[in-house]
Amino acid sequence: MSHTLDNRIALVTGGDSGIGAACVATLAAAGAHVATIFYHDEKGAKDAASAARKHGREGIAIQCDVGDEDAVEKAFDEVRDRIGMPDILVNSAGLNMSGVKVTDMDLKQWERVVRTDLTGTFLTSRRFARDLRSAEKPGAIVNITSIHAFAMRAGGADYCAAKGGQQNLTETMALELADAKITVNAIAPGMILTPMNEEAVEDKDYRASLTKNIPLLRAGRPEEVAEVALFLASPAGSYITGTTITIDGGLSLLVGQGA
């Protein structure tokens, strides 16, 4: 019962796909009403919201670019008006690395990833925490970062910088919001089979060429990440704040080996 989310209201960004969609289903199965924030994939968002409703909970889908300040404010207003003020926020919206080296990267590319993966988390978390602080209610923020917040890749400057920033933002907010009883934690996934890893999802041989480098010899499933989000948002995780839980099958343990 310590994992129950009865009477809780969750807002999940990127809830139309991959890890976010798994979080919507898992949080609703644990008892939360869930708002799914999507940007492109309206069908994915509606499917996720309908999966939440199958658990007898409210499930709504709202379009919002998390990097747009006005859009974020409007989305939170709509969630409050339709299902109530969220007390769980999962920031899963994100874009992958460009693969472009710094010397070849233009400002637009840099800003595209930083705006979504880092500024988006700032904008949603700020509004979420302001609302809870004024209402004197506790809550939980769970940020989906990446092992690339601390294990860098050439060609990933936009993503590694954004995810490193998101990681530091997580820890800073944990300090700032502790007195309001709002916990702030991160989950750092390694290779998870979602549309972000489309080629690995579709091509078994390509997938095997990558998973042979993972100590557990497989990629993770979005549902496995969602279970960690549930733990952090539930009473079971109530004394955890400012922490990162890595979920990567041991991949990041290999940093520094081989040379």
Q: Which residues bind ligand NAD (CB under 6 A)?
A: 13-14, 16-20, 38-41, 65-67, 92-95, 116-117, 144, 146, 189, 191-192, 194-197
CA distance 154 to 53: 42
Smallest distance, ligand NAD to C-beta of residue 46, A: 13
Q: Name which of 12 and 30 has its Cβ closer to ligand NAD.
A: 12
Smallest distance, ligand NAD to C-beta of residue 11, A: 12
CB atoms within 10 A of CB 35: 31
CA distance 196 to 22: 14
Q: Name which of 1 and 107 has its Cβ closer to ligand NAD.
A: 107
Q: Which helix (H) or strand (E) holds 209?
A: helix 204-211
Smallest distance, ligand NAD to C-beta of residue 94, A: 2
Q: Name which of 135 and 254 has its Cβ closer to ligand NAD.
A: 254
Which residue is it, tokens 């496995």? 224
Q: Name which of 131 and 248 has its Cβ closer to ligand NAD.
A: 248
Q: Where are the alpha helices (DSSP H) in 18-140?
A: 18-29, 42-54, 69-82, 107-114, 120-135
Residue 159 appears among annotated catalytic residues = yes
With a CB cutoff of 8 Å and minimum separation 6, the contacts of 157 are: 97, 101, 102, 105, 110
Catalytic residue among 39, 159, 206, 239: 159
The angle, 0 to 180 degrees and rounded to 10, between the axes of the packed helices 69-82 and 120-135 is: 40
Smallest distance, ligand NAD to C-beta of residue 36, A: 9
Pairing mode, strands 244-247 and 33-38: unpaired
Give catalytic residues, as residue numbers: 159
